[in-house]
Amino acid sequence: MRPLLLLGIACFPAACADIPAPAEFREARQFLEQSIAQGLSPGVSIAVIRNGAVVWSEGLGYADLEAKRRATADSIYSMASVSKPFTGTALMTQVEKGAIDLDRPANDYLPGTKLRNYAGDAREITVRRLANHTAGFPTHFNFFHDGTQPPTWDETLRRYGFAFVKPGTRQEYSNLAFGILAYITELVSKTPRREYLERTVFDPLGMSRTSDRVRPGREADAAVQYMMEAGGRFLRTKPYAFDHPGASVYWSSANDLALFVRMHLNHDALGKVRILRPESALAMRTPVGTATPAEGFNEGSLANSRFGIGWAVEKFLGHECFYHSGGMPGVANMVRVFPENNSAVIVLTNTDDRTVARDAAIRVARVLVNEPTAVAAAAPATERTMPAGMAGVWSGKLEHFDGAVGMRLTILADGKVEVRFGNRPPQWMMEPVFGQTNLTGWVDALLRTREDYHGVAPLRFRLWRDGDKVSGFAMSNVTGYFGLPSYVELTR
């Protein structure tokens, strides 16, 4: 067994002092100041690593607008999807012990409700494919406000635990997949998720401000989450829960994340503390397989990246980069890591507009990799027209968790699309967009979503044609609340 030695770790457990920005980051800091002055975010915390050392860590603006409490590099923010590298790291500790096999079916580890595959054998849904978003799962997010509790894992898996496309062939970003990975890690380790991550990852690294909640005694460090209304005012976001906690639940600070990132830059060791073997760290940022991102909408810049285990991977500014962004009500974050020169940038904000975190990270990254500051011109928009073979009448069903619903899609030669459910009157699909083989668009349709929601949610379609079959999913979507998929299969 590898020893976990608490030696050589800076800033544990007391707060770290902010480190002023070096001169070369002056333009990036001015951008953050201007963004706050323009009301784009109440507060920002940033940490920059160069040659393995933290050279800039600072908070600007307010962690709490009403109390006029300033943000610092120790302010604690909700991580949103930056939680996924934490979950991936915990998963890999169990892989190293031989308790989890990345290439075994995920169902081998689930004691109750099993995952199902509408496109083939459920055994193709492996742990690795869940981890690199190629398990064939559709888009899914589910936030529970005002004290409403998420359903049990068995109920969540009964409703939404399905592949809509052959696993390993298409990449589709999935929060539910990482919820399942955290659940499997908890089951196999026989340790509650919070206790396992704190004991195995966070505390050994000195990440005393990181957990699945703001730790007791750290409440004064917590950044309040805000949403911006149409009039430009910030509204406080109340706490909310998830049915995919391993994807979105963690809280951390810029200084704590710097410890975590430095550990990953050094092949999962920091000082004399080692969490994983070097090969495990490398696996977390190495894509496996040939699946490519699917056409259509996806989650921000992650759509064009590939995935290892918890980290997205891409060429950024011409350099190898592993990273993760995160955004949900009241939070938008960006972590970019450049292993070639042992550098990284971490930007955390307490509002949901991703612009500040994204653009600040770009400005810092250009300095880290010695790229010019000019921004490349956007590529011209490509006109999309309906491909040959899509026009016609397609009939079949939508597999809702309450039972199948008859569905008919009539695609006209002029690109208009009519949707009909059962014996209900037909309606026109809004904003239909055709790709080479796919169709996206939406209608208002009443499908049961959750027991605490009683309105009509827009139903957003992502459908692909393969010969005389059209399949994919339709997602009941309410911004800030849920995106809940149902499988769709139609034939000509």
Report the pLDDT value the prediction gives residue 105, as an integer from 0 to 100. Answer: 98
Q: Is the pLDDT of residue 277 over 60?
A: yes
pLDDT digits (tens, 9 = 90+) for 416-470: 999 999 999 999 999 999 988 899 999 999 999 999 999 999 999 999 999 999 9
| Listed residues 376, 406, 439: the one ending a domain | 376
CA 314/CA 316 separation, integer angstroms: 6
Same domain, 330 and 473: no
**Mean pLDDT throughout 386-402?**
93
Residue 17 pLDDT class (50, 70, 90 cuts): confident
386 in any annotated domain: no
Q: Is the pLDDT of residue 306 over 50?
A: yes
Same domain, 270 and 155: yes
Same domain, 349 and 475: no
Total domains in the chain come to: 2
pLDDT digits (tens, 9 = 90+) for 222-263: 999 999 998 889 999 999 999 999 999 999 999 999 999 999
384 in any annotated domain: no
Same domain, 365 and 455: no
Same domain, 422 and 278: no
Q: Which residue range(s) make up the domain with 263? A: 8-376
CB 94 within 8 A of CB 140: no
| Listed residues 376, 410, 434: the one ending a domain | 376
Same domain, 275 and 188: yes
Q: Is the pLDDT of residue 382 over 80?
A: no
Same domain, 285 and 366: yes
State pTM to two decimals: 0.92
Same domain, 342 and 407: no
Report the pLDDT value the prediction gives residue 294, as an integer from 0 to 100. Answer: 61
Report the pLDDT value the prediction gives residue 485, as an integer from 0 to 100. Answer: 97
pLDDT digits (tens, 9 = 90+) for 339-378: 999 999 999 999 999 999 999 999 999 999 997 654 444 4
Question: Closest Cα to residue 272, out of 6, 90, 49, 51?
Answer: 6
Radius of gyration (C-alpha) of the chain in whole angstroms: 23
Same domain, 103 and 24: yes
Same domain, 428 and 364: no
